[in-house]
Structure 1
Amino acid sequence: MPTLNVDFGYFFEIGNLSFPQMLLRLFLDGGWIPVLLVLAKGCWMLWVQWRQNKFDRTITTCVLAIDVPRQNEQTAKAAEQIFSTITGAYSGLDSFEKYWLGKCQPIFSFEIVSVNGYVQFLVHVWTKFRDLVESAVYAQYPDAEIVEIADYTGSVPSRYPDPEWDVFGSEFVLKKPSHLPLRTYPQFEHTSAEFPFKDPISALLEVMGSLRNGEQLWVQFLIRPNDNKWRDKGIKEIEKMLGRKPSAKKSILDDALWLPKGVVKEIGSVMSSSNSEKGDKKDDPLKMLAMSPGERGVVEAAQMKMTKIGFDSKIRVVYAARRDIFSKKHFVSVKGTFMQYASLNLNELKPFGKVTPRGDYFYQRWSEQGKKVKLLSRYRGRSMGAGAPPYVLNIEELATMYHFPMLDQKTPLLKKTAAKRAEPPSSLPTVGEVQSDFFKPIKKAAKEEENGRTGTMPGNLPLA
């Protein structure tokens, strides 16, 4: 019978060496291999990052301010259609485009911003996809007004600590895996009430409308189209819950050896048929019926989420104010509004602690100011990769958290367009309006330019 002999002399020999000599010996005897692999991966990541940064410098972006009519009766379903249309920006990239040209999928930033209590819905988009966003909005809100404005994020300091301003915020992530959904707008409908749809965004708009002069609150929903491969992982998790074995992917080797593998499988099944009681435990097709109502509801909700389009997503919140009126209670209020979307047996949103600038303990104060600078920089750059890891939200979840207010929204400084737009007489003179530096239009809406209209500015622009 063969035996296995282990010689420990090598380890005793290394153990008698000094520590520097030991490290050198281990490195020369094969330790250089993992070091080389780590260095190679690091160099590859730096290369990809360099190419992507070079590509990013060629991209031009714009910020669009959107207003809907005062008599808007569209629910979040309309916003869901907008997000569905934006999926058309996805393009399949090959290896040359990704790793040499540095191309990546476009990032759209849907933002709700309050400056001194004035609330504005915005979209930050690559310029070449501006028409896509405008057409998606106009398709659902034909009387909406869209104008391009300057980026508002430069109104607060970039470096902290600052003698006059302070900032706080965080990035929100899912508490559980992405295949488990949040609470969405169909669950906020009450048919027996006077207003059947209890709009969850109302609480956020009330918080943003309560700000005073010198306070700003920014909420950012970053989305990036993907190839829907996230569904594969979700399907595997559901199969585990149902007690099924996940289907293995076929490789080239499996296709080449299909005949001998099939023969071996048949022989094995014949030999095990006489002793089936001792065989492996088979999948129970009735396990779904044995589940509790809560477990069954989790499986059904996860399956329903995967029937709709998903985006790589990230939510970022920034609160900035003058030091004499700075109060973190507004961020706490925003955090509370996000709890409306929580289902304790499914999923919920929570702040990502690693990027939150806390200063409760002495060791947290060492990095507090640096985290503030990074948080603000990532918001301004609409960064998807830096900070908290992205996750998947489908179009129904996104529409629940970002949609335009309805007729019954009473936020005082959330001004909407006063009336539906109509074609003016060609000889009608126009009178300009005085606006403040915040949300100041810099270009007419594309739809107005095409139709030769003069149009008016969004109704919720703050006056000087």
Structure 2
Amino acid sequence: MQLGFIPPEIWSGFSLAFKYTYAWLPIWLPAVFIVSAFRAWVRYNQTKFWQKEGSVLLEIKLPREITKSPLAMEVVLGAFHQGGGETTWIDRIWKGKTRSWFSLEIVSLGGNVRFFIWTQLKHRNNIEAQIYSQYPEVEIYEVEDYAKPFYYNKNVNQIWAAEFALTKPDPYPIKTYVDYGLDKDPKEEFKIDPITPMIEFLGSITEGHNICIQILIRAHKKRRLFDLFGEKEDSWTDEAKKQKDEIIEKLKVAKEEGGFPRIPSKGESDIIASLERSISKFPFDCGIRAIYIADKDKFNPANIGGVLGSVKQYSSLNLNGFKPAGWFTDFNYPWQEWFGKKEKLMPRALEEYKLRRYFYSPWRGKKYHISKPFVLNVEELATIYHFPGSIASTPTFERVPSLKSKAPSNLPI
């Protein structure tokens, strides 16, 4: 049978494709089934492993004064570079072990700005020790998950959620605290802290609006097939070398074409230096997502622009920056919302956030759920997540009201 409105050559192509697909059915169908069953079995083992490990959410309450630069947070985050736990294929496949991952969270609940760290239970003592070693004045508490009360009901509230990606290849660094001069420890009144625009925006929203920013990290390692088998090349360092070689090659071409040897421009020299500095520090696989939830009568689309604008200060034209990608709940065309896709994606986005699930998400790589990790080094992470000093004077930014100090040595016993 041939449909009259389909040209014969196209119909012939369809028929041939169907013929070969059907002929090879006994081969490809079992293969697809085996791969799917294997992945499901591995995920089952991983889920059992995660449940056994347990997790905890820590809230960090900051003092009124923090004089240390983000370098202190860089030291803290260095302890998060935990690459063990999945050494052999038996660990990865049979036991379901995975690399430890962490979630660094900056949250505004009705304008009340708070800092959280989510971790597996076994890392709690180490994390607390590292934070206290650099910030002895802070207070750390185990708390209930602030996201637990969040829910989605299309008749009651509305959710906007998005993920972020880098604007250039991973080795290109974003603007870090070093670029803002914070490594030189300027006086508080002269500091330009790139995290303050985000804190100020989060502190400006009103009651009934909740904005949560989640930075999920794990130690970066060489890539594996299906994240399970073998070790392939380290694309991060290889890409950095490739970018450097391209710049150097341009200089060579100018000489080979009969021109004078060209020295690198200021911009090219800066890029080469930035790439070299970037790959000299601990790398982390990262995923950044943001979620905004409010009642339908209060939901303000302007807050979406505020979220996207609060990360602009980390971007530069010749290096790297952040852009929205992997959108959960926004569509460009109305037909993309047909069949209730948007209504399905909103609760799914909220579920992903609550579970702190990213690197091993079943939705990873699916349409509207890109969840593709990128690499940031520890300096970049310390730039986008650190404890600001008094330069961040947002009224709704809760701080511990008093400083801690040792008791006088001459007190009677």
d(CA) in 2 for partners of 1:204 and 1:239? 33
- 2:217 paired with 1:234: no
2:287 maps to which of 291, 294, 314: 314
Residue aligning to 2:319:
346
The answer to whether the Cα contact below 8 Å between 2:111 and 2:204 also exists between their aligned partners in 1 is yes
Change (3 A) 1:423 1:155: farther
- 2:402 paired with 1:419: yes
Q: CA deviation at 1:365?
A: 2.6
d(CA) in 2 for partners of 1:81 and 1:390? 23
The answer to whether the Cα contact below 8 Å between 1:63 and 1:148 also exists between their aligned partners in 2 is yes
The share of aligned pairs that are identical, in percent, is 28
- The letter for the 2-side match of 1:52 is Q
The answer to whether the Cα contact below 8 Å between 1:183 and 1:342 also exists between their aligned partners in 2 is yes
d(CA) in 2 for partners of 1:304 and 1:16? 57
1:331 maps to which of 304, 314, 318: 304
d(CA) in 2 for partners of 1:381 and 1:32? 39
1:176 maps to which of 152, 165, 168: 168
Q: CA deviation at 1:145?
A: 0.4
- 2:171 paired with 1:198: no
Secondary structure of 1:87's match?
A: coil
- 2:313 paired with 1:355: no
- The letter for the 1-side match of 2:209 is E
d(CA) in 2 for partners of 1:194 and 1:18? 71
Q: CA deviation at 1:80?
A: 0.7
Residue by residue over 1:304-342, the C-alpha shift from the partner in whole angstroms, topping out at 9 and shown as x without a partner, is 100000111011101111222111212211211211111
d(CA) in 1 for partners of 2:22 and 2:101? 44
TM-score normalised by length of structure 1: 0.72
Change (3 A) 1:178 1:26: closer
d(CA) in 1 for partners of 2:195 and 2:14? 62
How much is the aligned-residue C-alpha RMSD, in angstroms? 3.1
Q: CA deviation at 1:225?
A: 1.4
Residue aligning to 1:393:
376
Secondary structure of 2:174's match?
A: coil
Residue aligning to 1:303:
276
- 2:219 paired with 1:225: yes
Residue by residue over 1:4-30, the C-alpha shift from the partner in whole angstroms, topping out at 9 and shown as x without a partner, is xxxxxxxxxxx99997797456654x6
d(CA) in 2 for partners of 1:243 and 1:37? 46
d(CA) in 1 for partners of 2:106 and 2:261? 42
The answer to whether the Cα contact below 8 Å between 2:85 and 2:97 also exists between their aligned partners in 1 is no
d(CA) in 2 for partners of 1:293 and 1:37? 54
> After alignment, is 50-59 or 107-116 more displaced?
50-59
The answer to whether the Cα contact below 8 Å between 1:98 and 1:104 also exists between their aligned partners in 2 is yes
1:120 maps to which of 105, 114, 119: 114
Q: CA deviation at 1:39?
A: 4.4
Residue aligning to 1:132:
126
Q: CA deviation at 1:383?
A: 1.0
- 2:354 paired with 1:380: yes
d(CA) in 2 for partners of 1:90 and 1:203? 36
* CA radius of gyration, larger in: 1
Residue by residue over 1:161-208, the C-alpha shift from the partner in whole angstroms, topping out at 9 and shown as x without a partner, is 1x2211112011112211111110111128898733201111111111
> After alignment, is 92-101 or 39-48 more displaced?
39-48
d(CA) in 1 for partners of 2:204 and 2:20? 67
Residue aligning to 2:65:
71
d(CA) in 1 for partners of 2:85 and 2:13? 57
Secondary structure of 2:115's match?
A: strand
Secondary structure of 1:132's match?
A: helix
Change (3 A) 1:17 1:91: closer
Q: CA deviation at 1:288?
A: 9.8
1:44 maps to which of 17, 38, 47: 38
Q: CA deviation at 1:300?
A: 1.9
Residue by residue over 1:112-146, the C-alpha shift from the partner in whole angstroms, topping out at 9 and shown as x without a partner, is 11111111101111111101110110010012100
Residue by residue over 1:417-451, the C-alpha shift from the partner in whole angstroms, topping out at 9 and shown as x without a partner, is 122235689xxxxxxxxxxxxxxxxxxxxxxxxxx
d(CA) in 1 for partners of 2:261 and 2:298? 56
Change (3 A) 1:406 1:100: same
d(CA) in 2 for partners of 1:340 and 1:50? 41
- 2:393 paired with 1:410: yes
The unaligned stretches of length 5 or more in structure 1 are: 1-14, 245-280, 426-464
Q: CA deviation at 1:239?
A: 5.2
d(CA) in 2 for partners of 1:407 and 1:141? 14
The answer to whether the Cα contact below 8 Å between 1:169 and 1:318 also exists between their aligned partners in 2 is yes
- The letter for the 2-side match of 1:188 is Y
Q: CA deviation at 1:405?
A: 1.5
- The letter for the 1-side match of 2:168 is K
Change (3 A) 1:400 1:25: closer
Residue by residue over 1:386-424, the C-alpha shift from the partner in whole angstroms, topping out at 9 and shown as x without a partner, is 332011111111111111110222100112112223568
d(CA) in 1 for partners of 2:197 and 2:11? 69
The answer to whether the Cα contact below 8 Å between 1:169 and 1:331 also exists between their aligned partners in 2 is no
d(CA) in 1 for partners of 2:59 and 2:17? 64
- The letter for the 2-side match of 1:332 is G
The answer to whether the Cα contact below 8 Å between 1:224 and 1:313 also exists between their aligned partners in 2 is yes
Change (3 A) 1:98 1:115: same
- The letter for the 2-side match of 1:346 is L
TM-score normalised by length of structure 2: 0.80
Matches for 1:159-308 after TM superposition, within 5 Å: 159-161=152-154, 163-189=155-181, 195-227=189-221, 229-238=234-243, 240-242=245-247, 290-308=263-281
Secondary structure of 1:133's match?
A: helix
Matches for 1:423-462 after TM superposition, within 5 Å: none
Change (3 A) 1:288 1:160: farther
Residue aligning to 1:267:
none
Would you say how many aligned residue pairs link Structure 1 and Structure 2? 369
